[in-house]
Amino acid sequence: MASLPKGQPPNLQRPAVFLDRDGVLNEDSGYTFEVAKLRLISGAAWALKLLKQRGFLLIVVSNQSGVARGLFSTQQVDDFNHALDQRLREEHGTGIDAFYYCPYHPEGTVASFTKVSSWRKPEPGMVLQAQFDYGIQLEGSYLVGDRYDDIECAVRAGVKGIQVLAPGLVKHPLALSWVSSLAEVPALIPAP
């Protein structure tokens, strides 16, 4: 599932910073979907502004298996993404260029969303779809995520992975770097 701006042609050969959502941009409360519980992670909006000023597209790629598990709907994911984008814009004037998410899981309980999908990280389907939709130059692009599967997705897509580490998370050995929050990422990514 993707939400794209209307009437905007792809800008060929532009790099992107792909971002996991929960645990990177907003606090991860486990199957995060309630707009009322949306909490930005400190420094996230400022980091996005710096990355945008350097010319990167900002694209969220997020597993949302709660849809397949019957915990929330795709409309609730869209509503949360919209609220997140609005909050980021209010805080530092920079939002997300596009949201991609995978509502599928092979062990789901909602039949229409219970399947294996190339969009589910660690598979690179969301990144590759965004590349097609926006003409993104993968060489020179990054993926920032907190989970092992996020960095594995970066490896499989051919982009550099930066891992936001939280207690209990497993370090991916192929991450370009490990940081404590998105706020540290702009210092690691030069302008394209």
**Which residue from 71, 74, 89 is spatially nearest to 3, judged by alpha carbons?**
74
Q: Is 30 helix (H, G, I), strand (E, B) or coil?
A: coil
Return the structure tokens found at 39.
């909490």
Which residues contact residue 3 at a Cβ distance below 8 angstroms, ignoring those fewer than 6 apart?
78, 81, 98, 99
| CA–CA dist 144, 154 (Å, integer) | 9
Q: Beta strand pairing status for 160-164 and 177-179?
A: parallel
Q: Count Cβ atoms within 10 A of the Cβ of residue 147 and give its class: 0-12 exposed, 13-18 middle, 19 or more buried.
A: buried
Catalytic one of 20, 85, 97, 146:
20
Catalytic one of 22, 97, 146, 150:
22
Q: Is 36 helix (H, G, I), strand (E, B) or coil?
A: helix
Do residues 40 and 47 touch, judged by C-beta distance below 8 A?
no
Known catalytic membership, residue 20: yes
Known catalytic membership, residue 78: no
Q: What is the DSSP letter of 14?
A: B
One-letter amino acid at 1 equals: M
**What are the residue numbers of the active site?**
20, 22
